Structure 1
């Protein structure tokens, strides 16, 4: 059995994305393209990690339905380890649907109910082997997303199975950002959020990534990265704050950009990059993604 470089824990589903070149508003009916591709936060992170040469294992829930079988095969073809995926007989494979226009994301609906219903079953390989146990915990990195329930994220925060894990945390969306609060002060956690998500965690908005990152550290976070679209991004820890600006690009898509940024930063640090260099690598990968220069 192949040993993974990193675990991706959370949402793996089908993304159904409608994209149009026109500016859109509520009620718009315009021509465009509709695609169905493997997605979900954990999956998006895993795909970027593969592009950087890492081998991720997926810990998620996928139904034993035809679309679930298709999804597992797509994951395998893309070089991901699926041996530890929880396959449910009675839960359907999750889906995400979004509409994007020239002015960005118009609306989205995430149907991750099966992942939520599966709960701790997706972590069996970490509690009972072969990836780890409470006595011999997983010691590598693990990307965890906010599609998991608050109860399961709270369990991860206190679990001995994660006491040696390099935790990398990402909200699934602004609406789920506060689910990560139990893990905010975990001594081995790095938090990746955008400016809106940071404001929700702080219970007050901030004008810049720098101020939000600093405030999260003051609130107990160990290390945070805050992005703000095309504006300055910030990395903060107890030693201070580092800032960098993404390069200007023509935006052709937005869904998955934050996940790409996070995965690229993890990959950069795995290669030994630190500080400004790792942040620059992550911003460059995100810029390539939103400009359409990276295939999905």
Structure 2
């Protein structure tokens, strides 16, 4: 099967806890990115682990509604994973998890233009080996590799080991994006400029760091640009980074002139990052990881 994008990583149920209310949404960073890319009209497959249970049925229906195709190997005997997001008054979220990452092998990658890996699928045993194998084979076959660690400190190995796992995938990727919180955990005491320089010097063509309400920074061999935030009324921040990443992948690889995986001009970084910021603003303006469809993103960018 020839697919625009192959995403590797966890899918789960996000249970959002706030005063007087509990809401449940399908989620997981890689699943969110698969959803975001599919809503941007890309043919998208997700290789994950979903149980044959009620929560798994919810995730499958939700992803299918937006056109995401699950690999047949994604169905497992283990229960579907769950994350509990506890919202603070400012809309920020802290997380508790009940999950496993033990995916089956994916012998046939198809011919995706991009392979994205990230989050718990990159760090948790025993499945992290499967993630790295898919990335290795995909890059050798000519796919663009993208990576977002989306670190959950309570679940990943201690920082030194997590940093080695991060660097193994980051330096195998053409595009690596992390949050300022990811950077602080993986490289304590180091500046964001240090982290970006490390990635670019290590061979990453485009590196980015999101900074929440402060926007983002994107770097390439040809320069570094600041992406300002897009003002909006925040419902919650669930899925903001995933929305940014999905749209950045789309804007760089599939829109306009496309991308060959080499360094990107600053002016193109600025445009792609601006679209990613608009997507993140749409997502945080409504509850849960409800990423925008292409028509919403186009309208928002045109109105700005």
Q: TM-score range by the shorter chain?
A: 0.7 to 0.9
* 1:153 shift after superposition: 4.5
1:58 aligns with 2:31: no
Using the size of structure 2 for normalisation, the TM-score is 0.78
Give deviations 1:154-213, integer Å, cap 9, x for gaps: 4455x3343222111111325246332211222x4211101121233334332xx55542
* 1:4 shift after superposition: 2.5
Select between 174-183 and 193-202 the one with higher mean Cα deviation: 174-183
Distance 2:185 2:221 in 1: 21
Distance 1:104 1:248 in 2: 15
Distance 2:93 2:249 in 1: 29
- 3-state SS, counterpart of residue 10 of structure 2: coil
* 1:83 shift after superposition: 3.8
Q: Residue 184 of structure 2: which of 176, 182, 199 is its match? A: 199
1:105 aligns with 2:92: yes
Distance 2:216 2:193 in 1: 7
Q: Any gaps of 5 or more consecutive residues in structure 1?
A: 20-29, 133-137
- 3-state SS, counterpart of residue 104 of structure 1: coil
Q: Residue 160 of structure 1: which of 137, 160, 183 is its match? A: 137
Q: How does 1:86-105 map to 2 (within 5 A)?
A: 86-89=74-77, 91-105=78-92
Q: Which residue of 2 aligns with 1:277?
A: 271
Select between 94-103 and 193-202 the one with higher mean Cα deviation: 193-202
- 3-state SS, counterpart of residue 192 of structure 1: strand
Q: Which residue of 1 aligns with 2:169?
A: 183
- 3-state SS, counterpart of residue 22 of structure 2: strand
Q: Which residue of 2 aligns with 1:290?
A: 284
| 199 and 101 in structure 1: CA distance in 2 versus 1, 3 angstrom threshold | closer
Q: Is the 8 A contact 2:235 2:286 kept in 1?
A: yes
| 213 and 107 in structure 1: CA distance in 2 versus 1, 3 angstrom threshold | same
Kindly indicate whether structure 1 or structure 2 has the higher relative contact order, using CA contacts under 8 Å at least 6 residues apart. 2
Root-mean-square deviation (Å): 2.5
* 1:220 shift after superposition: 4.8
Q: Is the 8 A contact 1:225 1:234 kept in 2?
A: yes
1:222 aligns with 2:222: no
Q: Is the 8 A contact 1:183 1:189 kept in 2?
A: no
Distance 2:215 2:58 in 1: 39
- 3-state SS, counterpart of residue 213 of structure 2: coil
Distance 1:204 1:220 in 2: 23
* 1:232 shift after superposition: 4.0
Select between 260-269 and 169-178 the one with higher mean Cα deviation: 169-178
Q: Any gaps of 5 or more consecutive residues in structure 2?
A: 157-161, 258-267, 292-304
Q: Is the 8 A contact 2:5 2:112 kept in 1?
A: no
1:70 aligns with 2:48: no
| 199 and 107 in structure 1: CA distance in 2 versus 1, 3 angstrom threshold | closer
| 152 and 142 in structure 1: CA distance in 2 versus 1, 3 angstrom threshold | same
